[in-house]
Every structure is written in C-alpha cells, then in structure tokens.
Amino acid sequence: MNKQQLIDQIRQKRSFLCVGLDTDIKKIPPHLTETESPIFAFNKAIIDATAPYCVAYKPNLAFYESLGVEGMKAFEHTVRYLRKYYPQHFVIADAKRGDIGNTSAMYARTFFEEYDVDSLTVAPYMGEDSVTPFLGYEGKWVILLALTSNPGSKDFQLFADSEGQRLFEKVIIKSKEWAGPDRMMYVVGATRGEMFKDIRRLAPDHFLLVPGVGAQGGSLEEVCKYGMNKDCGLLVNSSRGIIYASNGEDFAEAAASSASKLQLQMKEILDQAKF
C-alpha cells in the first residue's frame, strides 16, 4: 500500500484508527481456549467486527512469540486472513527489529517476503546500516521509533546534547536522509501532547503511528490538534480499549462498539479539518 492509497482509505472510511492485536492468551474469553487455535479465533472475530471502523491492524509480535510455534502460526494465519478478506487494510508488524545489516536483511525477508506485511516497526539506534535493509522492498514501509509513550522513554529519547538537540530529534533528522514520507513513518506516543509540534516541525509530511490513546491515557483530541497534517498524517492505535472491551461471549460486539465510538470521534475531527 502506498501513501496515497492509505490517504484514500482514511478519507473514504472517515477513520485513521489502527486496531492493535495485542492478543494475550490469558485475557481472551474462556470459551475460546477450547478451539483449535484460540489466538487466531479471537483475532478473526475481532477483525470481522472492527474492520468497518479502522484502516489498519497492528499485531504485536511479543504476544505471539510468547507462545512459541503455535503463537507464530496464529500470527501467520492472522496476516493471511487480513490479506485474503481485508486487503484494503494496512498491516503493521509491531516487532521493533533492528540489528547489524545482514541480520536486519533477514528480519526484512521474514516480514516482507514470508509474512507479506505492509510495514514493520524498527528500532533506529544501531544507525543507518541497521535500517536500510528494510527499505529495499518496494511498497513496504519502515516505522521508526521516535518518541514513545512509555515512562522510560525520557531516559534516552529526551536526552539533549550540548546544543539542546534531543535524541528523538536527531533520529528524525538523520533518518530523513534514508527515506522520504512515502516509505517511512515514526512512532510517537499519544501521551506526548504538545511535543507533537516539535515532531511536526521536523517531519511535516510523514505519517505518525500513535499508540497510547485509551488505556495509556493519551488524548485523541490533543494528538490531532498538534499532530494532524494536510494528509491527516496519523494512524492512531488502540489495543486493550478495543480488543478487551468485554471478556464474555459478546467480546466481538463490544470491540465493534468501542471501535465505532473512536471512529465517530475521528470522523468529527476529519470533518472539522475539512479533510
């Protein structure tokens, strides 16, 4: 999916919602544990229920890898299901990879050739040669960690050099030399508020993947006020607030209701922005 196709999906669906598939075997409804593949059964139901309200899905690899081979089978089946039945949705593998060049090349082969996802989250802190192998695939996106929503992000990402430039700013400035806004996005946590102004000063045309709305306390209105650009430029992720809206047999219906509420808020924001 290229940038214009993503923008078109946002405009048509009046939504920039990304549903995070952080599927924990210990949190899914008990009746699903008796199925052959509980994680995939849960994901399939969530996808079918929420697809009308979102433009993207983001499976977090940690939740699948924690179950070994069976977990990775569930991840693969989830991606295959999305590709077959919901090809218009943008698929993000939230794996936060990044290593020396030849290792990154293998990670890129894994996610872009074997699993055929649209994009992959990448940690940039080993530098250019750890990121560029992911950029060798036409039509695929790299989503670099820039300013994350977790409390510990201040330990390094907000550290400033002698000239006052913070590390997340250095990451954005340098990485723009590797790819443009048609191939690269940045992760910026929803809890960052007015700091989105600093992000937009450096990356006015890039899409931002924004976790932290909902369970982590981020404000959708604040994110949009400071982070939206002329192309919308946002994929706002919600995971727990949607997929665990209910632990009963109505879990899919509850997820749809939660996703619908967010989509309606997004529609109002897009309408106000005349997008």
**pLDDT score of 102:** 96
Does 167 fall in a domain?
Answer: no
Instruction: Quote the domain boundaries for residue 67.
Output: 3-146+176-272
The residue type of 267 is: K
Rounding to the nearest 10 degrees, give the CA dihedral for residues 40, 141, 10, 254: 20
How far is 121 from 142, CA to CA, in rounded Å? 6
What is the number of domains present in the chain?
1
Residue 125 neighbours by CB distance under 10 Å: 14
Does 209 fall in a domain?
Answer: yes
Does 102 fall in a domain?
Answer: yes
pLDDT in tens, 32-70: 999 999 999 999 999 999 999 999 999 999 999 999 999
- Name the strand (E) or helix (H) holding 75: helix 68-85
Does 158 fall in a domain?
Answer: no
pLDDT (mean) for 24-35:
95
How far is 112 from 199, CA to CA, in rounded Å? 28
For residue 127, report the phi and psi dihedrals to the nearest 5 degrees. 90, -175
Does 166 fall in a domain?
Answer: no
pLDDT at 194 over 90: no
Q: Which of 26, 58, 84, 96 is catalytic?
A: 96
- CATH number assigned to the domain comprising residue 100: 3.20.20.70
CA–CA distances in Å: residue 154 to residues 112, 166, 168, 201: 32, 10, 10, 20
Known catalytic residue: 96? yes
- Name the strand (E) or helix (H) holding 45: helix 38-50
How far is 228 from 129, CA to CA, in rounded Å? 30
- Residue 59's region, left for phi above 0, alpha for psi from -120 to 50, else beta, is beta
pLDDT in tens, 115-167: 999 999 999 999 999 999 999 999 999 999 999 988 898 899 999 999 999 99
This prediction has a pTM of 0.97
How far is 88 from 91, CA to CA, in rounded Å? 9
pLDDT (mean) for 86-103:
97
